[in-house]
Structure 1
Amino acid sequence: MRFLSGFLSGPNPYVGNNRTEFTMIPKMNWLQWYLVFNVLLLSWAIDCPKGNFCGSCESHPFRAYEITCKEEEHPKFIVQYKPRSNLIINCLGSKNWTYFDLGSVQQVKTVEYLKFENCVFSDQVNLGKIVKNIFNDTVEELSFEACKNLSSVLTREGLKDFKKLRSLDLQGNSLSNLTSEPFKELPNLTVLNFATNDLKELPPKFLNIPSLRKIELGWNKLEVIKRSNFENLGHLVFLNLWKNNITEIEANAFDNIRDLQSIDLHGNKLRSIPQDIFSKLSKLKTINLSLNNFTNDSFPEDLFRYNNMLEMLIMTSNHRNITTLPNGFLSNLTSLRTINMENNGFHQMPENFLWGTTSLTTIKLQDNYISTIPRYFFRDLKNLKFLDMSGNTIDHLPNDVFESLRQLTNLNLAKNRIKYLSSNHLTGLSSLETLNMERNNMVQIDGHAFKDLEKLKVAYFSYNQLNLTNKGLSDEYGYRSPFHKCVSTIEEIYVDHNNIVEMFQDWTEMTHLKILNVSHNKIFYLHARDLTLSSKKAEVDLTYNMIESINMYKNVYEKLIENYSHDAVIDIGNNPLKCDCQIYDLLQYFEGELPYLHNRFYLKAEDLKCQSPVEMKSLVVKDLKSKDLTCVYHDSEDTGNLCPSPCSCKVRPSNKAFLVDCLYRGLKEAPQPFTNPGHHVEMDLSGNYLKTVPSLKQKGYENITILRLSNNYISSIDANNLSDTLEELYLDNNNMTELDSQVLNVLKNSTNIKHLTLNDNAWRCDCEARNLFEFIQHKRVKIPELQNVICGGTNIPIFSATLDEFCPFDMYWVIGICVGIAILGILIGGVSALYYHYQHEIKVWLYAHQWCLWFVTESELDKDKTYDAFISFSHKDEEFIVNELVPKLEQGPKPFKICVHYRDWLVGEWIPQQIARSVDESRRTIVVLSPNFLKSEWGKMEFRAAHNQALSDDRARVIVILYGDIKPSDITDPELKTYLTMNTYVQWGDPWFWDKLRYALPHSKDVKKKKNNVFENHQPTLQIVNEKTNGSIPQPTAPSLNKTITDV
């Protein structure tokens, strides 16, 4: 590569104001381009140099050619040639230049750059002749690399043919001794590169080249710089003396190079600088004094007082600690823009160190031992943009120390000992864009510390002890961080490796946020609202926190969709997640079940593993399935004891199932009823000693949908114990031999049960198992492992057997049964015909002989009667009849049809005839016996008519109600008194009055089954009063009311 290509070159001849000379190149197809390319190659090949011992040009990529010069087929020189650009001669270490006659046959025009590699020179080699043999003109740039005995040709005589040479590169040739004035014949030389050689001193008049503008003498072994070394160099601009062994610079050594703009003295062994060493260099712009042996006393206070054009000072990594510098050392340098003084061992800086240096834009003071910054250190630095004081020992900042730095855009105070940022520490930094406070001992930032940071974009606060929580900065949504003042500008926040325990609300409101690194903190809980970022395509790093729970409840989804995140990428890997029911929605998200959230943010969780419970530890969360997620249930004060003892319980969120695990608990009976959890229950009672299926209709069991009873001792099932909610029943590995028809009907008719295991039981296979056979064959319910549902004592699967195999057909039994059924049918038919023809006569005969009275009911005898009862009463008791008796009888639970004279008798008809008809058309006659009734002749007539009817039918048809102030002893009518002696009556006011009265009235057929209710519910029943007890009527001898009622 050409040394310092383009350095100090003039205007490009191909770029300028000649734009009007360019014309549009017409489009050509590939064939035309191919022809043009080959024509150009041919023209360049023709321009290739040739010699007798050198072969022809071989084409190489990028318009380059290679030429090989040989000695008896052995390559001696390899030449790389690029027309009109450069020519590189690689001598391959050859000493014999006889066979290098390139150009002897055909020369070429000169190139810009000529280089010799791996060549060996001697006094007999004429360098000028070699070059003239190749080119018809001299070159302008000449370079030697890894050449030996080069000094033999670097003489006035050897270089006299290079009059036009502008640049000479002698780097890396181990040169140590040169003749005096070797470059005297190079009047146009401007650049001399003598780096990486072995010069210990410069020969007299070695650099007597007035045209030189740049001298590179780095990485030699120079020890002393003398004034005579740089005489007659009035146009020198760049002087590089880096990486030598310089220990001394003579005073006024640089006085004769007054145009010097840049001097590099880094990497030497200087201990001091002469006071006026730079006094004549008024045009000096850049100084590099790094990597020397300076001490506190090495620098005069006014070292740079005459360097008003100085723009950059570099003095880094001094080999000794410079604890401080002189007062005002860099003051009033109005052109100074950059100072780099890192790693020099400074302990303190003078307050007036930079006063008056108003153009300064960059200060680098990192990696020193500065413990404090003077209050007015930055007083005049109104144009400062970059300040790096990282890696010091600053433990506090004065208030308003940066107040004058209104243009500062980048502040780096990382790796110090600052513990606290107050509201006044960053005052005035209105243009600050990047703030770096990493690796301090920070524990707190005032909530208003960033109040002036109106343009802050990037904040580095990693590796501190911050939690960022400020009780004065909170609202209903949570706490706000100190960055809340920068929500509209901040783009990157790095707060990793701190003590942060939560995500802050203002982070979700930062509209330009791109990177938020909160990794390696102590956040233990994450809510979906923490992921609802307002910015687009933000990257959030939450790895290596203590996140146990991620709440993604669906009640926040609408908020997410309407207002927040846009393609955010959030990394939550390497957190100790607690894989309980709280992660259900998170798993749903990973499974793509929440697409509207996928469009808003992407959760990176490749390294997210479960920390608990123990059985799930180290499982990758993304590999879990939401439908399989279960979590341990614990009873609480709110829920009560939902989990039955001695079982353990879990919850499955996917279908809200309550899982009761009683597996292998040594149970002989199912757990006691328990509180209904409100969701469907799955109970596992496998591996116990149960003999029966527990009732699924008891408390807690009514919601069971899956019941596992495998590996028990169950031998039978009660159909009444099954429920309609059951969906799966596991009965494998029990002592089952049969399923009765009721159980099979429940299983067949159930619309819910879908899964039933019956395998590994000793099923009885005979004719009584016909229903089981048909149930299994029809497969109405999914029965797994059918091949293991076999007949006891055999290996025959029931599903593959035929009915004849375990229930053979017996024709003789069938014929006998059919004949018997036919004979029985003939007998029943004959008896039925006789009964139908002589029905009335049969019933009369049976009733007359008191046989089979259950067969001759009262309803048969009274089926043509119109009324259930006729009420006989005195008109003076009509109020009791109308308001009490009739309404209760006609409107009760079993209403009766009642006949009363004031409503049902025909007007104008003869009263005795009306009485006779009412009694005849009524199944009972109710006599309301009162003092008024005893005075009524019509009442007595009605009683006689009813009494005669009862005697005629030989049935008790009269019901007597004693009403009012009357006793049996008050009755004087002989016939009535006799009747009361023979029958019972009901007393008004008796607490059992209505029960007794309704029981005495006719019963319909549907009441037969309940006819004894009165006696069952009320003891004793009808009150019987006679004259012998309490002056009442004696016990009846005729058919009594009690007997009649019993016969109904």
Structure 2
Amino acid sequence: MGETYLYFESNDLTQLPNTSTQDYNNLRRLHLANNNLTNIQINQLPKNLEYLDIRNNNITSLDPNVASFLLERKDNISVEQSGIYWKCNCNNTSLLNYLKLKEKEEDYDDYMYHEINSRVNFHHIKGPCPESCTCCVNGYEDQFIINCTSKALETFPTLPNKILGEPSLLLDNNLIETLSTSSLRNSTLRELHLKHNSLTHIHLDQLPSNLRVLDIRQNNFTGLDDDVTQFISKLSKVQLSENPWQCSCKFIQFLAHLKKVNFTEYQAALRRCSGQEYCPELCICCKEDESQRFIINCSNLGLPEMPAELPITENATLLFENNNLQTLDNSTKIIGLNQLKELHLRYNNLTKIEVLPKNIQFLDIRNNSLTILNESVREFLTQKSNMSSLTIFISGNNWICHCKEIRFFRFTKNLAENIKDLCKTECHDSRLFVSLEEIDLCPEKIPRYVIYFTSFIMLSCLLSFLQCFWKSIVMWLYEKRLFLKLTTRLEKGTETKYDCFLAYCHKDSHLVSEYVERLEHGRNRLRLCFYERDWLAGEPIPDCICHSVENSKCIVILMTKNFLKSVWGRLEFRLALHATSKDLYKRLIVIIYPGVENFDELDGELNSYLKLNTYLIRNDTNFWNKLIYTLPHKIINEDEDIEMINIEH
């Protein structure tokens, strides 16, 4: 027979027959595209096969024997596998090697003289494996590995964001200097192995958010940013060793993490920047890049005392803020204390300081419970300020400011240029240091006779003032309703219907409203009587006048030019005068208005009264105080609701 080709495309074939007949073995081309094949065994392939088309089937892997068979006959057998998404086990090296060969094949069929697609796609990435890398499944189907180890790669391989399963990317032993910045943060990678590359820096957006394992050993890292440190601290496994880590203070959060997870590497970092490996337990040591200060950071740990030993190095600074340190006395024995140039002790509970580092150049004791600095400490700081630059902060303490501690006050004044927060420093009684002088703390004693004499003069002046203005003061207090029990006059006589009867000429009716407003509606709330409102129509005027005078405690006469010309006005005056002469508790109050000046022109009875009795002048600036105090006194509850009569029409 000649060459035999079998076309069995686009059917529902699920597996090849297990046969070894001569005719089947003589098949040269086997076209099986677009079926439902899931696997192929070695005994299912024709022995003389030269072409195999398994495109668009459900095959995800090949038996190692089949892969070896194809690999051995790679020059004699052409295989088309487009549309297949491989799940190749990492132990199936034959299949892996064969697929590598397929990726390098030319896309051309010598038999059919047409182009073929040799692209090898993988199920987990829905596409080809990155160039130079190997993609396979390790152990179980979800553990997908992209192995690019030892490929001399200089750039990060291009990968899709979404990779199925539990993907791991192995990039050990390459020449990569930086990671990809193209959405790597959104990648589904779970493991990232970067051992032995040339990486110097890594950003948070270069780390997949779902990452669980990170290996960056044997690179050129000197430190990691805070956000990266926070991220890797939550990973299940991180390998950081064999990097040239530096103890720069800009990486202090990373140094704290490194000390916790890999103490040996932390010691190496210290050795690189300070020449020694020691840092107190719980504290973090680092070196500032610009100032070259070696920082021993023991802040915010709630420590009751300072470390017993400090690193002995130049330009050392101890940060011991926000702890529970109470004393720094002569019994304090700390190795390396005298090497310190800066001592930060803010927010502790310090009550006593007796010893300070001999090389001190900066002292911060703000926000403690100090009340005084003893003489030896003051002398030491004064000496240091004269010899070198010295900076001190002392505010937020309970400094005692009185004459017994005047020397401490003088110390602060003498070192005002060194104490940078003196303008904010307060005494225990909240007085500012800068507002005080020595005389404020130690005032001169004043002789007793000067005090007695001054007191006598002041008392005499007060009594003279009260004598001269007593009446005006009482009137004012009463008008303002103040101290009513002292200023209110006890009214005698029988109770009447009205407190006051206003007598005036009918031509002066416009004057009544201000009396109603001030006396009835005001604070005193007096009951007024005047003819326009309170007299009954049809009653004889003389009877109304008599009735109003008898039923009022006082009679107020508005003495105007019109009143003097009025017959009824004169009758009101005479009746009022007669009533007051009969009732000693009834008062007659005359108010003189402008225009009434010459009393000699008045009739004899009115003239005699005004010459022998006092009266009020309407234009007096203190008129209302005098009038209100002269009228009947009443103690009124301010909360009472009293019905007021509106006289406006």
Structure with bigger RCO (C-alpha 8 Å, 6+ apart): 2
Which structure shows the bigger proportion of residues in helix conformation? Answer: 2
Fold agreement, TM-score > 0.5: no
TM superposition score normalised by structure 2: 0.44
TM superposition score normalised by structure 1: 0.30
Please identify the structure whose Cα radius of gyration is greater.
Answer: 1
